[in-house]
Structure 1
Amino acid sequence: MLIIPAIDIKDGRCVRLTRGDFNQQKIYLDNPCDMAIIWRKQNAKMLHVVDLDAALTGEMVNFLKIEQIVRELDIPLQVGGGIRSLDAVKRYLDIGVGRVVIGSAAVTNPGLIEEVLKIYRPSKIVVGIDAENGIPKIKGWTESCGMKDYELGLEMKQMGIERVVYTDISKDGMMQGFGYESTKRFAEMTGMKVTASGGVTSSDDLMKLVGLQQYGVDSVIIGKALYECNFPCQELWYNFEEDICIDHNFSTARKK
């Protein structure tokens, strides 16, 4: 089970939201790249980075911030937020982003998925499905989609998509556990590779996720629970290290 720390960028800073609500925003660091280095030093193998400004406007407002993270780290980035065109996909992949996540555009412009898959391997393109009570939500979770989450997943699978980031938005940022049943149902009904997201709070949640590997759930994005140090190993690092140094002396890999 691959654990992927999340970094959400708003106004150039590293923030976390509760249930995607921009009015419930907490700032953690002014420089997202510093946060990325901290997660890397804690042995992250991949990062999930979202440009929240782009999600709102469609403009790649934090592109340079994301490019800096790509340049400074030696692990792949998965990037989402406002990716609505082939040009946006190309710009991110051209700077070395590992894979991009297409969300609302997969619903509003499914032709984009067909277009990008003619150029890029499926391993580079992920679809994000954010669902509440089994119904996908789009445009910042403000509109419902006219199909079930698994129906959207199967439609994307037919086009050639192999992986979905599945978020149960009723759980996202609530620190109350993740949507076990909804994630299991989606994975079972689609047979796709699934990265779970939203609500993982404890090591018990992680153990439940391990039980879903047989259905194709092989990774999980964790946000607020990591930032709030919900895991015992984090307490050890923060209590006994004098400082978390923002340098490039990674314990498990050399600098680029």
Structure 2
Amino acid sequence: MNIYPAIDIRKGKCVRLNQGDFSKETVYLEDPTEAAKRWQNKGAKWIHVVDLDGAKSGNPVNIDVIKRIRKTVDVNIQLGGGIRDEETAENYINLGIDRIIFGSSAVKNLSLIETAIKKFGAEKVAVGLDVRKDEVAINGWVKDSGVKTEEMLKKLKNTGLKTIIYTDISKDGMMQGPNIAGIEKVLSFDDFSVIASGGISSMQDLEQLARYEKKGLDGAIIGKALYNGTLNLKAVLEQFSLQ
């Protein structure tokens, strides 16, 4: 399966949050490009980048940092945070971003997803389902949308979307393992390739996820466990990465 080391950017720095709480932030690197180089050097084929300030504000904020990351590494980059209109999406695609992630905009403007897929291709588009107590959260996880996970999946079913990134917010940054039941729910639709996120902190977690590859699991996003050394990316890639 694909392994996606995460780089979350806030105020230009590489950080991790606990459960998406902006008041529970740990700064790991002053320059996020150092993280990008580190993960590339350890063998990553993809990097998962999030503009946290952009996700909260609704507009790209850390675009200069993202440009530097893109120029610094040759690996594939998927990017989310503040992508809420066609122009922003196109700007990032033109910048060389390999996959853009719509979050809040998917809840608020489903036609934007359809337009982006038609314009850029399904392989270039993903939707991030950030879930708290089975309800999709928006605006950088600050607000609840009132939309249940299953309801959102039904809406996305006929858009042409292929890739969903499922994050259980309660698990994110907590090092307690992923929400397998939630991942199973998304996989049960059989329409989507699913990237699991939130709480992945051990080889056992990854072994558990790997069992779902034949059911449509594309891969896993790993954040805090890489930064604090609980997981070694090179070892993870040797055991789980697509060859």
TM-score (normalizing by structure 1): 0.88
Q: Kindly indicate whether the alpha-carbon contact (under 8 Å) linking 1:200 and 1:206 is maintained by their aligned counterparts in 2.
A: yes
Instruction: Tell me the alpha carbon deviations over residues 14-59 of structure 1, each in whole angstroms, 9 at most, x when there is no partner.
Output: 0000001010000011110111000111111100000111112123
Residue in 2 that maps onto 1:74: 74
Letter in 2 for 1:41: N
C-alpha distance in 1 between matches for 2:70 and 2:184: 32
- Please say which of residues 12-21 and 155-164 is displaced more in the overlay: 155-164
Residue in 2 that maps onto 1:97: 97
**Secondary structure at 1:119 match in 2:** helix
Q: How does 1:231-246 map to 2 (within 5 A)?
A: 231=231
Residue in 1 that maps onto 2:10: 10
Gaps of at least 5 residues in structure 2 are: 236-243
Task: Give 1:156 shift.
Answer: 1.4
CA separation of 1:110 and 1:95: change in aligned 2, threshold 3 A: same
Residue in 1 that maps onto 2:241: none
- Please say which of residues 129-138 and 103-112 is displaced more in the overlay: 129-138
Instruction: Tell me the alpha carbon deviations over residues 165-198 of structure 1, each in whole angstroms, 9 at most, x when there is no partner.
Output: 0101111110111111111122113431000000
Residue in 2 that maps onto 1:219: 219
Letter in 2 for 1:112: L
Instruction: Tell me the alpha carbon deviations over residues 115-148 of structure 1, each in whole angstroms, 9 at most, x when there is no partner.
Output: 2223110100100001123221112223333433
Give the number of aligned pairs: 235
C-alpha distance in 2 between matches for 1:23 and 1:113: 31
Letter in 1 for 2:24: Q
Q: How does 1:107-256 map to 2 (within 5 A)?
A: 107-231=107-231
Task: Give 1:67 shift.
Answer: 1.1
Instruction: Tell me the alpha carbon deviations over residues 84-118 of structure 1, each in whole angstroms, 9 at most, x when there is no partner.
Output: 01011011000110000000110111121122223
**Secondary structure at 1:182 match in 2:** helix
C-alpha distance in 1 between matches for 2:53 and 2:201: 26
CA separation of 1:116 and 1:76: change in aligned 2, threshold 3 A: same
**Secondary structure at 1:189 match in 2:** coil
C-alpha distance in 1 between matches for 2:52 and 2:141: 13
CA separation of 1:234 and 1:121: change in aligned 2, threshold 3 A: closer
Residue in 1 that maps onto 2:238: none
- Please say which of residues 26-35 and 127-136 is displaced more in the overlay: 127-136
**Secondary structure at 1:36 match in 2:** helix
Q: Kindly indicate whether the alpha-carbon contact (under 8 Å) linking 1:184 and 1:215 is maintained by their aligned counterparts in 2.
A: no
Task: Give 1:232 shift.
Answer: 5.5
Gaps of at least 5 residues in structure 1 are: 236-256
Task: Give 1:231 shift.
Answer: 2.2
Q: Kindly indicate whether the alpha-carbon contact (under 8 Å) linking 1:150 and 1:190 is maintained by their aligned counterparts in 2.
A: no
C-alpha distance in 2 between matches for 1:42 and 1:168: 27
Q: Kindly indicate whether the alpha-carbon contact (under 8 Å) linking 1:53 and 1:61 is maintained by their aligned counterparts in 2.
A: yes
Letter in 1 for 2:141: W
Task: Give 1:157 shift.
Answer: 2.6
Large movers: runs of 4+ above 6 Å: none
Alpha carbon RMSD of aligned pairs, Å? 1.5
> Higher Cα Rg: structure 1 or 2?
1
TM-score (normalizing by structure 2): 0.92
